[in-house]
Amino acid sequence: MAMRGASHEPICSAAHPLRFIKSVQTGSKVPYTGPMERIRVASLQYFIRSVKSFEEFSQQVAGLIDTAADYKCRLIVFPEYFTIQLLTLGNVQRPIKEQVRDLARQRDRFVQMMAGYAKKKNVYIVAGTIPVFVDGTENEIRNECYFLSPNGSIGMQAKLHMTRFEKEEWFVSPHDSLKIFETDFGKIGINICYDVEFPELSRALALAGATVLVVPSCTDDRQGFLRVRYCAQARAIENQMYVIHSGTVGSLPNVPAVSLNYGQAAILTPSDFPFSRDGVLAEGIPNQETMVIGELNLVTIEESRTQGTVLPLLDSGRTKGLVGSLKSVKL
């Protein structure tokens, strides 16, 4: 579990009314209008274990949310497919595509549970992912991430690119819609695991005003984990945004299709003077059950986009024209 901090003072503060930043779109100075200057966030290294009932699963989730709320976190991030614990309630020797569809039948109960916790604890929750049937039929499923607000609102970002095992073994279909979510502390985007390996997605979110990117992931080996982690770090640097990476750890050896997990939660930043050394605000010890907690300064991230040592987001305006002028040179 998370290490207890020295202070539990409130950490969400109003932006100073006389503070100005430069607009990424126009380059002119504008007042900072974000409703909060700082927020505290929690990213989970979620331990996958067998459960004997949905209630046991719910208790594990509730305990983690309680801990994060006790640390005054405003945003709590769960990893991709942490809901696979619920597979252990059924016959785990069946073909995995059948088990995944059983899991999809838990969608309504799961979302209702997470929405209740968000409202009860007055927090935002990125609720990892769960397989979901498309259009109310059981012919097609997608991998969906629900974003729960303390006011009862529910948003959803589905995974846009399928890994091979999802496509070829689980028969999960990609979605075709990228969303940006407006919260009381700013705009957030979600790239689910493999999606973070496609930089065009996070660049579009950053240009639309997102200052935080959430990356829920589920990886079974170190190579897979590092693909996601390295790309998440790159997205933080090239878009000058915070990236919150959450992963699964532990194992379900009795479920052959999902027997291993390799993960390390992290809160990543741009690589510049106002931010953490090495661009890592916080990270866990790999493959242990824990959560990492960090405080995001939302004014600093906005200022870095126009006053940083380098300005990759602002300067990316040149990229489209340069790509369009690509020429082949034979030597």
Euclidean distance between CA atoms 154 and 171, whole angstroms = 26
Of 73, 145, 193, 218, catalytic: 193
Closest to 216 measured CA to CA, from 198, 238, 235, 194: 194
What whole-number distance in Å separates Cα of residue 258 and Cα of residue 272? 38
Of the residues 37, 121, 145, 159, only one is catalytic, namely 159
Cβ atoms of residues 189 and 228 within 8 Å: no
Amino acid making up residue 26: T
**Known catalytic membership, residue 187:** no
Is beta strand 242-250 parallel, antiparallel or unpaired with respect to 38-48? parallel
Place of tokens 């999802």: 166
How far, in Å, CA of 213 to CA of 77, rounded?
Answer: 11
Question: Quick check: 158 and 172 in contact, CB under 8 A?
Answer: no
Whether residue 80 lies in the annotated active site: yes
Candidate list 80, 166, 283, 303, residue with the active-site label: 80
Active-site residue set: 80, 159, 193
